[in-house]
Amino acid sequence: MVSETSEQTKLHLLDMTPDSLSAALVEMGEPAYRGKQILQWVYERNAATWEEMTNLSKLLRERLAEKFVIYASEVVRRAASNDGTVKLLLRWPDGATSECVMIPTETHKTACLSSQVGCPVGCRFCASGLDGLQRNLSTGQIIEQAMYARREALAAGDRLSNIVYMGLGEPLANYDNVIASVQIINADWGMGIGARKITISTVGLPKQIRKLAHEGIQLNLALSLHAPNDALRQALIPWAEKISIRELTDACATYFEMTGREITLEYTLLAGTNDSEAHARELSRFVRRLRCNVNLLRYNPVDSLPYKRPTAEAAHAFLEKLRSLGVNAHIRKSRGKDIDAACGQLRRREMQGKSDGISLPVVDG
């Protein structure tokens, strides 16, 4: 296990930019250009240890190991699905755990990243927030998840192509660290993944959505809507009690105007709760106010919660009703169900011996 006393006092290399790393190296009496060499080893050559950086002297590698840690976590569980999905449970030096997932399709290899340890939103139907929020993940801890997922993609014979912030936590509630991680993932000197291949999923924080619109990054934005009206949404999502659908519409419209990127609406179908024809009609009226598409997810039941998974027939009926009303909608396929791959499942099972959650995303584009 990673030693808390030794590792927590070190700088996390994956937190650092070329400028901040060069400045730290200069303080050590080393030339600034060493920073570029080190980052090339990590991001271009996938070095996980100082010993792999063979163009650095042994003495320098020893000094760097005393001051920096490259990978701060340990993998406490790796689960591989029959469909190729791989989920990792990571434990950080303070004992906190988080999850990341590598999701393969025929055309993409996607990393699903967590932004927090636990979740503060507390959606009534979701496993992720049942144990509340422990803390935010740092920039480097978010990047570390992406790097682990990239290793899994490479091991499967392909490169990591997409990033989704759809794991544990509300990304826009950890705004600064999430945006810093996006910039490193996107940077030529970092992971080099295009901004249009990166999606941030949010329950809807209007102020942060507008701030994101002005970042000048061509990110994809996914809004976890889950209900077509305020009353039902407030019953399902506690945070919606202070944020109306109209406010979200206005904020998302600003995002589209500033970026030109269509919004994706995430809508988890809960049997007998939000999946009627009347709900489909309400949802279609909401969609007409935005440039957006709709991803439908069939709910996977959580043992301690009352919500049920709709039948395939009911889900397709809802889909066809939306399409008949002119909505661009799709049903998102669940992945990794045999390995607890949905949000919070592996962590919760590790903590409490349970398996529950909602469907894992499959990303297009």
Which residues are catalytic, by number?
99, 343
- 322: tokens are 């939306």
Burial 35-61 (b: 16+ CB within 10 A, else e): beebbebbbeeebeebeebeebeeebb
Is residue 221 within 8 Å of residue 264, measured between CB atoms? yes
Strands 198-202 and 220-224: parallel
Q: Kindly state the helix (H) or strand (E) to which residue 268 belongs, with its residue range.
A: strand 263-269
φ/ψ of 352, rounded to 5, equals: -130, 0
**Among all chains, which residue has been given the structure tokens 């990243």?**
113
Which residues touch 7 (CB under 8 Å, ≥6 apart)? 69, 72, 93
**Among all chains, which residue has been given the structure tokens 């909401």?**
286
Which residues touch 174 (CB under 8 Å, ≥6 apart)? 115, 116, 136, 137
Q: How far apart are CA 346 and CA 91, in angstroms?
A: 12
- 353: tokens are 């011996």
Q: How far apart are CA 91 and CA 164, in angstroms?
A: 21
Three-class SS of residue 49? coil
